[in-house]
Amino acid sequence: IYFAPEPPNQPSRNRKPSPQMILDARDEFGIDLTASYMIGDKALDVECGTNAGVKQSILLRTGYGREHESQLGQAHQPFAVTDTLAEAATLILSQAE
């Protein structure tokens, strides 16, 4: 488990949209980020995935997703939007090689 222990109002090298925790996991577990996906319900999650160099970020419309969807622009491509986690899983599996 990776987390940023600092309160949200304090600087943190680990807080999204920084990709640091993803990069730490990549290094620890040998993860290929170009074949990985970032799934979240906030624009910061999609931005973090972009910053980490993942294959694709997926914004879920659950939680905060509906209100954050309008905040995303071309800078954070490629990203997809799904209504549920199950739809995100289906999307990922449909892209499997």
Q: What is the C-alpha to C-alpha distance for residues 51 and 54, in angstroms, rounded to an integer? A: 8
Task: Look up residue 53 and give its DSSP letter.
Answer: T
Residue with tokens 């739809």: 87
What are the residue ranges spanned by the domains of the chain?
33-94
Residue 76: per-residue pLDDT = 63
Contact 37, 43 (CB under 8 A): no
Per-residue pLDDT tens over the stretch 61-76: 988 888 888 877 766 6
For residue 62, give every residue at least 6 positions away whose Cβ sits within 8 Å of its Cβ, in sequence order, or none: 41, 83, 84, 85
Q: Is residue 78 pLDDT above 70, yes or no?
A: no
The pair of three-digit structure tokens given for residue 21, joined into one six-digit string: 């925790």
Spatial CA neighbour of 84 closest among 54, 67, 53, 61: 61
